[in-house]
Structure 1
Amino acid sequence: MTIDYSLFMNISASVPAIWHYATGSFSLLCLLFGLLSNGFLIFIFIRDPNLRRPRNYFIVNLAITDLGLLISNNGLHVIASFKKEWIFGQIVLWKTLIPKYGGIITPVLDLTSLAKLSDSYAPGHIHDTIVETLTERRLSKMSKHPLQASDFIPGLAHHNAIYKEEEDAYKSWWKKTPLGKKRERFLEDQEEGGGDGKGKKDKKGGGKGKGKKGKGKKKK
């Protein structure tokens, strides 16, 4: 059994933690500012009857839409950034990719069951399954036969599930390889900062200089 581990490796794990926290903090500031400003606008509109004019309804509608986008997008991004990985399961992946490739999500399609079935599969496997399932022939039949969870099971069966134990074993093996060790050192140096690295070099250089001087004195 051959497994393409590149399909399920957490790519965000190779990103330095400072970037996760920086983007998460920026999204959090945007979220707080948006909640305060839009909430204050809606509050004033409700309290003051004189503001209830047709053009102001349009502005309030935009404020409500902005609130929804902030909560759904920035809220999830803040949590994922501080966790340094996407923690909301596979259901979001199915919801995003099925419409992208022409599929229509109806009440008949049980996304919860799909998410549970595909819990041990990589995002790349789910993507390939959706592409293989949503052919032109299948899309043409959606008006009479809506998509169901059973439509995607044969596609998932063509791939090998990735279990947590296998992923941990692969990651521990990767850290022992020369490339893995080099990557770990690189990330540690980035977290510590450039100043520490220069200091270490200076110390090494100073040590060598002292050694040479000492040898010179002995020769004299």
Structure 2
Amino acid sequence: MPLSTPAPTDAYGLILHAIDTGIYKPGSRLVESELAERFGVSRTPIREALQRLETQSMLTRDGRSLIVASLNHTQMAELYTVRTALEGLAAELAAQHAAAEEIKVLYDMVAEDEAFLNEPALLSQANRRFHRQIHLASHNGFLVQQLDLVYRSMALLATTSLAVEGRGEVALQEHLAIVKAIDARDGAAASDALREHLSVAFQTRLKIDAGEIC
């Protein structure tokens, strides 16, 4: 299932969700009056939300206008370095602490996400839900908090590697390998499987940027 929509009065959450789901992509100009009309929220909370997002580097200035920020090659590499380290730890801790019910949910997600193989945008959202479930299964609130920040920045990547032909099927196989390692309570294997999964995703993104694949 896609990510849940924020409350209709949560201007910050609504704008962030719109960026995360690709309604507003890197480079998109955000206009206060247009956002207020789109979301049915007054301009004051929209203005406050835009200021907050600019402070968080989700938005940047283009003259007097605010646009959705984008990540350059170096920033993307740095983001994947941090993401891989933190998610590897999350998978390791999930193998130690996840309840049987949490592991069952992960298995169910892998099976259910096959329905989105021909819909990259929905598969991308389902992918995020799967990874967040692993974060939560780590049972480490500080780690989850840091990964939330990482995933907020992931929204600044203009494309999803899951849109590449065949990548979705392979990604779900990689997800299954991660879950099996967690289920086996093998922290090292779970961490390695997740790190390898992200390594392949990063390589795919690099090839997209280099124009090798589209």
> Does TM-score exceed 0.5, indicating one fold?
no
More strand per residue: 2
| TM-score, reference length from structure 2 | 0.22
| TM-score, reference length from structure 1 | 0.22
When Rg is computed on C-alpha atoms for both structures, the one with the higher figure is 1
Larger RCO (CA within 8 A; separation ≥ 6): 2
